[in-house]
Chains A and B, each alone.
Chain A
């Protein structure tokens, strides 16, 4: 099971690299599935492991795809730090103690969507603020945030279903 998650994670990371390199539709949109990938790291791994995975993933995307070195790492590490808090708040505090993972079938689309929105919002707020570096107007950043949240959410639901399928255990 561990191997299948790692493989799926690696393939999705390659997918993210392709998105960053070839899917530049407009400056208003940031298409990302990295926050959901970090959120779906199995609960048997604690925050320290999630932080390391997030750091390495962000670094790979920064070096192999994005132009701004350090941008994805800066935005993704806080998501890994808040991962446990988000999961406990949305799915209940006992999920980690049981070593259980969340899935759409078991917890419903609403709860999974809520967790994805929280993680992706945190990522996008930091990403857009750091990318803009205080020179872009507020309306542009707001529009970019909501546009990116909608498009990334759709993609992230598929990612969550792929990384945490109900029949994995």
Chain B
């Protein structure tokens, strides 16, 4: 058979194969939750790798600008660190207190750059330039000095795919004020810096302008990261307050982030599993 006559049936067969395999995978994912997670993770890894490659070429040409920004950021951080050290020394002299670093014990920090971010969807995501070879694992948190950015969902060797905080599926445990009530904080679904703090019992008094912090109960994020300020509130079902929060973090101008990994996460999860088994 001439080559030209062989090509058309091959293309038709390949097209039928792709359609049928996609249909089969769709059936597999739709009907089985475990396989759905597995396939989604595979797709996320693929996306992270693909976008990482294209974006790394783009970044190569903007290295000079990035270096200038990093140097500036480094300078600001050094200044802040010096201020903290001086303040810590004064506090230790005056009263017996735990050093500030004790609060973040058990967490490991890594710096990373964002290679791709989506901001205009209901399920926004972030791809960062650090992967499993850099010690990044799934369920690590992504933060900046301005708040929480997202949670790592899948990792390849050199890149990681994270669910942005501006994703309808992401909820983080937040605390209202320094000693206030704890509730889940979720994105409000439309604005660039809006969130909703839910399930705050009515007996807790607060003022618009109170700061919202991470609670530290989620085992992903350390406590006391400032997230935003409380705004208006409304009573839901006569039982709890729902508070509008204006986030400190500007998601449209994100480039450099910090990955935070709870080193005790496995221990906590195994304890939870044991607890669940004990209940049964």
Residues of A within 8 A of B (CB): 46-48, 51-52, 55, 58, 62, 68-71, 73-74, 77-78, 80-81, 97, 130, 133-135
Contact = CB atoms under 8 A, between A and B. Distances in A.
A69 B32 contact: yes
B31 to A, nearest CB: 4
Say what secondary structure dominates the interface of chain A: helix
Contact of A71 (B28, B30, B41): B28
B24 A134 contact: no
A134 B13 contact: no
B25 A133 contact: no
Interface stretch (B15-23, B87-95, B125-133, B256-264): B15-23
B13 A47 contact: yes
A47 B12 CA distance: 9
22 contacts: A47-B13, A47-B17, A51-B13, A51-B20, A62-B27, A68-B32, A69-B28, A69-B31, A70-B25, A70-B28, A73-B27, A74-B24, A74-B27, A77-B17, A78-B17, A81-B13, A81-B14, A130-B28, A130-B38, A133-B32, A133-B34, A135-B38
B87 to A, nearest CB: 47
B17 A134 contact: no
Interface residues of B, number: 24
A134 B45 CA distance: 13
A134 B12 CA distance: 32
A94 to B, nearest CB: 11
Contact of A81 (B17, B23, B28): B17
B37 interface: yes
Which 8 pairs across A and B sit closest by C-beta, in order of nearness?
A: A70-B27, A70-B28, A133-B38, A73-B24, A47-B13, A69-B31, A74-B24, A81-B17
Nearest to A80: B17
A51 B16 contact: yes
Contact of A68 (B13, B14, B25, B31): B31
Contacts of A78: 17, 21
A70 B31 contact: yes
B232 interface: no
Nearest to A71: B28
